[in-house]
Amino acid sequence: MSDFVIVGAGVIGMMLARELVLGGATVSLVDRLACAQESTWAGGGIVSPLYPWRYAEPVTQLATWSQSSYLHLSQDLQEETGCDPELRQKGMYMVDVEDEKEALHWATAFNRPMQKVDSSHLYLREENFCNGYSSALWMPEVCSIRNPRLGQALRESLVKSSNVTLYEHHEVQQLLQRKGIIYGVRTSQGDITGGKTIITAGAWSGELLKPLNVDLPVEPVKGQMMIFNAPVGTVNRVILMAGRYVIPRNDGRILVGSTLEFEGFDKSTTKQAYDSLYKTAVSIIPSLANYNVEHHWSGLRPGSPEGIPYIGDVPGYEGLAVNAGQFRNGLVLAPASTRLHADLLLGKEPVINPVAYRLEGRI
């Protein structure tokens, strides 16, 4: 019997397990698939909210803490596992931003590096960017990370720990409870028990809580993306324009995303989305028309009101907690979301004020 049973082995579940283990706890990590197979794998890996000034302050607090921690986390994981998450700290351009004044005001208020730059700054660094723009907003400290590689590194880190038991391909059928106390889960391959059960199942988190009559407002929001196989240097940094983005990888591949679709748990890809993403790609980087689309896929984000996650105990049940609802920013907010939660679970002083993320009064 572990100290904690974590249900959901995406980036939130794995980082939370790692934080708890670093604090001396034992963890059983359970997933119906393999680790990092859902939105963790499917996302783009920008370590910043898109248009960060448009989010509520609780999101900014988590994002700011997380962004400063990714460099150390990436280095630690590579040293521990030999797997390079491919963190690229090359900055992000935001072009044709309607609420530019609000953006710059936000950056000043929250002390975030952002400036308006002219066309020479933009085209010197991104010579393949489409013609005709005289300026852009530039955030030099924004990173991107190769999220499938991050998932591999986190899994390997946990496998190496004697304090973690990994239960992949164990579908949770129900939460085990006795007199209002949750003490683990029943899976397709048997019961897994622990001192406290934590739901980190992304878009599926609300479904797991429904049998307890807990209405967690987390819903699946589909996002479709595609990737081009292009030469290294075609794009060098993240470029955001008209709500869509291109993200370069170290090997030259370029991700383009993403759609925002409210269609339940349907993960099918569509020709309409393919055509729209392709049009976006060549409108931002015209030369991408010369290269092949290598893959087109979709994932389900854990949508929540205002994108503010739910982090903390579930009211009315002892031994049950949630860390879910990061919406489009699961990877962005993961380090802070999990460090904050681990602090609470281990009885430490939390790194961020937890009040805004509690479930009380929000469900």
Q: Is the pLDDT of residue 342 over 90?
A: yes
Among 303, 324, 351, identify where a domain stops: 303
**What DSSP state is assigned to residue 321?**
E
CATH number at residue 74: 3.50.50.60
Q: Judge if 130 and 249 occupy the same domain.
A: yes
Q: What are phi and psi of 250, to 5 degrees?
A: -60, -30
Residue type at 118?
A: D
Confidence band for 16, pLDDT divided at 50, 70 and 90: very high
Q: How many domains does the chain have?
A: 2
Do 10 and 65 reside in the same domain of the chain? Answer: yes
| Nearest CA-CA partner of 258 in 43, 51, 92 | 43
At 272 the pLDDT is 98
Average pLDDT over residues 240-261: 96
Are 240 and 357 within one domain? no
**pLDDT for the residue 19:** 98
Average pLDDT, the chain: 96
3-class secondary structure per residue, 245-269: EEEECCCCCEEEECCCECCCCCCCC
Give me the CATH number covering residue 261.
3.30.9.10
Model pLDDT for residues 67-104, shown as the tens digit of each residue? 989 999 999 999 999 999 999 999 999 999 999 999 99
Question: At 229, is the pLDDT very low, low, confident or very high (cuts 50, 70, 90)?
Answer: very high
- What does the pLDDT average to over 277-299? 97
Residues 159 and 66 in one domain: yes
The answer for residues whose C-beta is within 8 angstroms of residue 253's C-beta and 6 or more apart is 227, 228, 229, 230, 294
pLDDT tens string 208-225: 999 999 999 999 999 999
List the alpha helices (DSSP H) in 92-146.
100-109, 119-125
Average pLDDT over residues 38-61: 94
Same-domain check for residues 359 and 284: no
Do 343 and 324 belong together in one domain?
Answer: yes
Residues 179 and 240 in one domain: no
| Whether residues 211 and 275 fall in one domain | no
Domain boundary among the residues 283, 303, 323 is at 303
Structure-token pair, residue 40: 């963790």
pLDDT tens digits for range 146-164:
999 999 999 999 999 999 9
- Mean pLDDT calculated for residue range 256-285: 97
Q: Yes or no: say if 199 and 317 are a contact pair by the CB < 8 Å rule.
A: no
Per-residue tokens: 319: 């031994």
The helix/strand/coil state of 71 is: helix
Q: How far apart are CA 22 and CA 307, in angstroms?
A: 28
- Rounded CA-CA distance 195/215 in Å is 23
Q: Which domain holds residue 111?
A: 92-140+219-303
Predicted pLDDT of residue 180: 85
Same domain, 7 and 134: no
Do 240 and 291 reside in the same domain of the chain?
A: yes
Instruction: Give yes or no: residues 104 and 66 share one domain.
Output: no
Bridge partners of 350? none
Instruction: Report yes or no: 215 and 222 within 8 Å, Cβ to Cβ.
Output: no
Per-residue pLDDT at 363 exceeds 90: no
The domain boundary, picked from 303, 326, 346, lies at 303
Please check whether residues 163 and 287 belong to one and the same domain: no
Segment holding 187, helix H or strand E? strand 181-187
